[in-house]
Structure 1
Amino acid sequence: MRSIVYALLACGILFACGGSSAQMETSPLGNRYQLFKDGGSGDPVATGDFVYFHAAMRTEGDSILFSTRQGGGEQPVVQAADEANDQIGPVEDVIRYMRTGDSAVVRVNIAEFPNKPPGLENDTVILYSVVVTEILSQEEFEARSAAEEAAKEEVRAVVRAREAERTEFAAGILKAYNEGTLENVQTTPSGLKYVIHEEGTGAEAEPGKGVVVQYIGQLVSTGVVFDQSFGRGEGIPFQLGTGRVIPGWDEGIDLLKVGSKATFFIPAELAYGAQGTPDGSIPGGSELAFYVELEKVE
């Protein structure tokens, strides 16, 4: 998720709530913003500091396009650039004037963009709402990152150790499905078929919430595994119900709770359609089987 946030920053499109243009200041780089310091504390950001923040992206008409709090995955962090650096986005620019707990609104005029971002062709302004949650020096950030990476690697090793066993289990489920002996298969009105192997007891997945999912994807016709997360040791994070994954996943994951283990049998029309994937790993018209484990709901 962090890579998505950086892409938005680079494009100048992370945005926000409220903020009258008449009340806004202009930074030396020409970015218009309004800074709220009521909740802030501590020293302001210094060059080289690492700043953890949350941001929401909104049109001037209050249509929210993206929120880092609901996107799933890790909280975004950016290293504060020197004031002489003008090759940064508006959020990165304004963050340099903030403290922990401060919030700001940044106004970006996209009417002058040569090519407007998809979906914003009829808009002229984007607003960012930004809240700084923590500021760390480079030394503190590097120490934290090393500790976090060590902890993550322990978790990844546990997940990777399950790869062979889970792959064998998924293959057995698909074999039974193809032979017509798989029990308790349910079908939704859209045509999605699924079996819940183990019902979770945690939070329910809901549209708009961030989720993390472990998975094994197979072609129903051949049993070929075209993608899986266990070998990487990390599940995939995404915001449910926002079209960031194939429709069969958005519908299927919505049926689960944290801890659930299930297999989805997804028809082509809820997956990659008649075209398949550009790399050819999933041919056009393919029915797909996904063994999934819902790890987290945020």
Structure 2
Amino acid sequence: MSMISLAGRRVAPLLLLALVLAACDSSAPEFIEDGASVTMAYEGRLENGNVFDSSSAATFTIARATNPGDRGLIPGFYDGVLGLAVGEEKTFDIPPDQAYGEAGIVNAQTGEVIIPPNETLTFYVRILAIQ
């Protein structure tokens, strides 16, 4: 049987393959799918170019919010990141009907408008990890 040198030791090719496969994390999904926990860097901008939200490493559960007030991602963000892989970067626009629509977002404590009504949002994302 032919042998391969690994760190100064000779091992059989099948043993080497077993070691490599054992080191791989096969439990982590390759691409973002519904229900995955994903860490990403992101930046959200308004139509005027102002940044309304950003993070260098935020973790989200990828779940679509289907009703106002639901926990989850707005439909356009959910659709925008679904299928991305670790290391992938993407910039995408989200029309108002897939974001916050006619209501927009207002800070309940200060009354400050965070996202105006009928605003198209632009997001840049970079996928850091998928758990």
Aligned equivalents of 1:249 and 1:212: distance in 2? 14
Aligned equivalents of 2:87 and 2:120: distance in 1? 25
Partner of 2:73: 245
Query: Matched residue pairs, number?
Result: 92
Equivalent in 89, 92, 96 of residue 264 of structure 1: 92
Aligned equivalents of 1:258 and 1:210: distance in 2? 12
Q: How does 1:125-136 map to 2 (within 5 A)?
A: none
Q: Which runs of 4+ in 1 moved over 4 A?
A: none
Aligned equivalents of 2:127 and 2:44: distance in 1? 15
Aligned equivalents of 1:249 and 1:203: distance in 2? 19
Aligned equivalents of 1:297 and 1:274: distance in 2? 33
Equivalent in 120, 127, 130 of residue 287 of structure 1: 120
TM-score, L = length of structure 1 = 0.30
For 2:38, what is the secondary structure of its paired residue? Answer: strand
Aligned equivalents of 1:214 and 1:203: distance in 2? 18
Aligned equivalents of 2:79 and 2:63: distance in 1? 8
Partner of 1:223: 49
Aligned equivalents of 2:61 and 2:55: distance in 1? 17
C-alpha RMSD of matched pairs (Å): 1.4
Q: How does 1:32-43 map to 2 (within 5 A)?
A: none
Aligned equivalents of 1:240 and 1:249: distance in 2? 9
How far did 1:227 drift?
Answer: 1.1
Larger C-alpha radius of gyration, 1 or 2? 1
In structure 2, runs of 5+ residues without a counterpart are 1-28, 66-71, 108-112
Structure of greater relative contact order (alpha carbons < 8 Å, 6+ residues apart): 2
Alpha carbons of 1:265 and 1:242: their partners in 2 closer, same or farther (altered >3 Å)?
closer
Aligned equivalents of 1:249 and 1:266: distance in 2? 7
Looking at secondary structure, tell me which structure has more helix per residue: 1
In structure 1, runs of 5+ residues without a counterpart are 1-201
Per-residue CA distance 1:13-36 (angstroms, 9 max, x = gap): xxxxxxxxxxxxxxxxxxxxxxxx
Deviates further, 238-247 or 286-295:
238-247
One-letter code aligned to 1:288 = L
Q: Note if contact 1:258-1:297 (Cα within 8 Å) is conserved in structure 2.
A: yes
How far did 1:242 drift?
Answer: 4.1
Partner of 1:100: none
Identical aligned pairs, as a percentage? Answer: 36
Partner of 2:3: none
For 1:249, what is the secondary structure of its paired residue? Answer: helix
TM-score, L = length of structure 2 = 0.65
